[in-house]
Structure 1
């Protein structure tokens, strides 16, 4: 998968995470893509290291969304004044 595919999946995962987590999320499209890519990386390496799933399984997308939600919560705590 190239860079364009990574950005599209990151956008999809970021949008799903923002949609699933209630509340206001003041960030733009770039931060949404970065959130999705970060969640994907977090879930991919974490899930495979723990032996939960292997590369290419559908659980990877679910894990990526969960990872993005975790990053969204952390981002929300760090962004509060």
Structure 2
């Protein structure tokens, strides 16, 4: 699966991750989409490294989407931890 497919999956996975982790984010929709793209790529990379699968299985396979959503959730949590305290001081 190519990088463009992972970007598309990442956009959708970012929206799903945001729905699974509701709450106030320091960034807007653009930041959430960028986190989703990076999370999709992270999920694909982790799938290769941890499970030894080649770019997961395919665009429509459940494992691909789970990897992208998990990657997006990880990055969303890290983003909230890093930027959450900075905005609460203002």
Relative to the length of structure 1, the TM-score reads: 0.78
Count matched residues: 80
Give SS of 1:50's match.
Answer: helix
Provide structure 1 residue ranges, at least 5 long, that are not aligned to the other structure: none
Equivalent positions of 1:1-80 (< 5 A) are: 3=4, 7-51=7-51, 53=53, 54-56=56-58, 57-79=61-83, 80=85
Residues 28-37 or 51-60, more deviating: 51-60
TM-aligned CA distance change 1:2 to 1:49, over 3 Å: closer
Residues 21-30 or 43-52, more deviating: 21-30
Provide structure 2 residue ranges, at least 5 long, that are not aligned to the other structure: none
